[in-house]
Amino acid sequence: MSVPVLLDTNAYLRLARRVRPLLGVEFGQKQYVLTVLGDVEEEVLRSKRLRHRFPWFETDKEVASERLAKRVRLSREKREELEHSAGFLHDWVIGQAQRFVENGRAPPSAVDCRVLAYGQLWQAIVVTDDLAMHDLAGEFSIDVWHGHELLARLRSGRMVDNDQVRDIYAALEANGDLPATWRAARDKSFPRVFLRE
């Protein structure tokens, strides 16, 4: 049986242009399958800045049609379940705002909580580089990976090769979008990719 892996918007934007196919394909021994929520579409399309920064999100038909075809579809009942669980998580966060604004964190938003709620309800692994989301996921026993951890698994599952890993790192670096966790993990998680250079 496959294991669903849900990418948050940033995790998706960091990988989607350079990993094809990305969504809806089983990989690895555990048969991971990547997916996204419809929120990704909404978040990007309603933001002029994001549309400007990631023009391929709309113009690359292959990427767009894969995303639309492979995103999560929920029945009305499941959607209500998701909203309920996400609302609970967000209320938990808001009630402890002070804790979530310190140490380089920011309180997970309602959309972030929806991503985590999906993980909790349907035992999906959530991929995010947001450290506060990692904290929250830890408290609620939700499985969560950093983007670089997913990239390592994509590599070992032969979804990407060493050149693609290098390309992705280089592009994120060039765009000023390389998370500190990716930087710290570079040589440790990808020794064969970077240490041989």
Binding site for other proteins (CB under 8 A): 9, 43, 46-50, 53, 81, 84-85, 87-92, 94-98, 101-109, 112, 120-121, 130, 132, 139-141
Q: Given the complex with other proteins, which of 114 and 155 has the nearer CB atom?
A: 114
Q: Given the complex with other proteins, which of 90 and 148 has the nearer CB atom?
A: 90
Q: Given the complex with other proteins, which of 45 and 68 has the nearer CB atom?
A: 45
DSSP for 117-169, written as a single string:
HHHHHHTPEEE---HHHHHHHHHTT--EE-HHHHHHHHHHTTSS-HHHHHHHH
Q: With CA atoms as reference, report the closest residue to 3 among 145, 191, 173, 135.
A: 145
Q: How far is the CB of 188 from other proteins (least distance, A)?
A: 23
Q: How far is the CB of 17 from other proteins (least distance, A)?
A: 17
Q: Given the complex with other proteins, which of 92 and 194 has the nearer CB atom?
A: 92
* Opening angle at CA 99, ends 185 and 110, nearest 5: 80
Q: How far is the CB of 31 from other proteins (least distance, A)?
A: 25
Q: With CA atoms as reference, report the closest residue to 112 among 97, 92, 98, 132.
A: 132
Q: How far is the CB of 65 from other proteins (least distance, A)?
A: 24
